Amino acid sequence: MTHEYRLLLGGTVLPGPGRPPCEAIAWADATILALGTTEEVEAISRGDSHRLAAAGGFVVPLGPPLEVGAPADLAVLARDPRLGDPGSPRAVVRGGRIVAGRLP
């Protein structure tokens, strides 16, 4: 069985403490496959990947840090959480599925 690749592009990914920000993340099923630049993440696409726009949002982990092989549990926030209250999430992804909100 193959799983649809989802590429979340055009945001700021904050993987977790001590890890540098990047701009894109990809996952299939419930597992993170790649983090990096838009070009690096798009390079793993098989051509049929579902591209999602982070639209300048901030991607943060909901649990363990975001890294290859970790669960695809994340939130997309409208404001930078490093600067204070980020407000309500635009979208929440649990187990690789959008379970709240939406992404353009």
Q: What is the pLDDT of residue 6?
A: 95
pLDDT digits (tens, 9 = 90+) for 43-52: 998 888 999 9
Decide if pLDDT at 1 tops 90. no
Q: How confident is the model at residue 2 (pLDDT cuts 50, 70, 90)?
A: low
pLDDT digits (tens, 9 = 90+) for 55-96: 999 999 999 999 999 999 999 999 999 999 988 999 999 999
Q: What is the pLDDT of residue 70?
A: 97
Domain boundaries, the chain: 5-101
5-101 under CATH 3.40.50.10490, yes or no: no
Residue 96 CA, chain-centre distance (Å), reads 9
Cα separation, 78 vs 64, whole angstroms: 21
